[in-house]
A and B are shown apart, each in its own frame.
Chain A
Amino acid sequence: MNHSNSNSSKPIVRMDKVNKYFGSLHVLQDIDLEIVPGEVVVIIGASGSGKSTLIRCVNGLEEFQQGHIEVDGNELLPHGKSGRALQTIRTEVGMVFQQFNLFPHLSVRDNVTLAPIKVRQLDRDRATEIANKLLERVGISDQADKYPSQLSGGQQQRVALARALAMEPRLMLFDEPTSALDPEMIGEVLDAMRELANEGMTMIIVTHEMGFAREVADRVIYIHGGQIVEQGSPLEVFDNPQNERTQNFLSRVLKH
């Protein structure tokens, strides 16, 4: 929406016939997916359909058994045999989790500076400077010396966003970033994400916030039983779904 014709550029994520099993459960089935820089992709689907597993494959938190995944020119191989590429991908791909997963033993600021210092080898002053800027941007600058447990859920999730951004990622993954939040805090997190999308960040977002999806997504993907059943612009998927399962899913979730 916010991006001039980004479809012409080379994909930053390419998934090619990716198959994943948990034991005998075939969780991802022949997933083909290309995402171009600047694109905001929202993944929707019922619980257990494989949304989390799909995005966790992109940064190697889950291994897959067949196919291949390329992220910004680095290749992930089946069975976790990716070697250094995995590390490179993880420094370039940020992730925000449903449960925030902030480090409870570190102050808010140290949560944000840890990876830049240990991975990017920035000196503490430089890392702190970046952290302060990011915390200000997500509206938490006055809480930087507190510990995560002293913040509200919405604040914690915004810290988690700042922490991921401190690595200057080229791609951001969000796994239901607002599902663990009290309703009155969902807005502040979505606002921060919307701002990021407007700045041109490439994002893959798993969410049940259909209004938000409609507004920020360039593309909506519906997955069911580990398969991409339907995808298209928000208008196409939400207002004119072609697949019967998509129609059923949407009629259930859009009712409330």
Chain B
Amino acid sequence: MEVTFEFDWAAALGSIPHLLPGIPYTLLISFGGLAIGFVIGIIFGLLRISPLHWLRLPAGLYIEVFRGTPVLVQVLFIFYGLPQLLGGPINALVAGIAAIAVNSGAYISEIVRGGVESIERGQREAGLSLGLSRTQAFRYIIWPQALRRMIPPLGNQAIISIKDTSLFSVIGVGELVRQGQVYIATTFTALEVYLMVALLYLAITWSLSLVLRTLERKGLVGQ
């Protein structure tokens, strides 16, 4: 079989202006969702390690449900399913942000729990023995240390969520993949365009890794 295909550099480069408008959507869904997911993660992660059984239980349930189901199903449920309950349509962008929020929130809950539990018992005891209340010991001693340890896994989760937003082309948000599909429909240069789409994702995730590595080098992270 002879390969007659030739890579069309002009088509690849020419697609970029048509793809760029997708980047703000991709970033907005990712980081908007992650910001809310972080808040959810702090709340549910802390509930998860509460000494009270009736607080731990619902938190555990939330985490299991949203880690155990695909983010694609979650966004379809929110975009197509919830309107039936609410009696009105949901904006696709809102649905995308909500899906990333509840999905990353479940994973971030576990990151928060792990971070807090990784702090040696002696830290809390030293705080308490100095007369700090339990809340003060948490706020001034445990949380700042836990947060540093959480940053690498949080960065990891951010990269996963950024990539997850590519699935949301199915609900028609104009993110990167969607822009690519629209453009390919008129030019039929799938190989070139999807390569460019992939490179743009790489550019986003690499920049994020770079920021994280810089933080780590400066000793603001980890230990």
Contact = CB atoms under 8 A, between A and B. Distances in A.
B219 to A, nearest CB: 9
Contacts of A105: 144-145, 148
Contact of B132 (A101, A104, A119): A119
A163 B126 CA distance: 10
B131 to A, nearest CB: 3
Interface stretch (A67-75, A85-93, A197-205, A210-218): A85-93
B interface secondary structure, majority: helix
B123 interface: yes
A94 B129 contact: yes
Contacts of B128: 60-61, 90
Nearest to A120: B131
A59 B129 contact: yes
A57 to B, nearest CB: 13
A243 B133 CA distance: 42
A101 B126 contact: yes
B182 to A, nearest CB: 49
Contact of A87 (B120, B125, B127, B133): B133
B204 to A, nearest CB: 31
B122 A99 contact: yes
Given A61-B128, A61-B129, A97 B122 contact: yes
B122 A101 contact: yes
B91 interface: no
B223 A104 contact: yes
19 contacts: A61-B125, A90-B130, A91-B131, A94-B130, A95-B126, A97-B122, A99-B122, A104-B223, A105-B145, A114-B130, A114-B140, A115-B127, A115-B131, A118-B132, A119-B130, A119-B131, A119-B132, A119-B136, A173-B129
Interface of A: 59-61, 87, 90-91, 93-95, 97, 99, 101-105, 114-115, 118-120, 160, 163-164, 167, 173
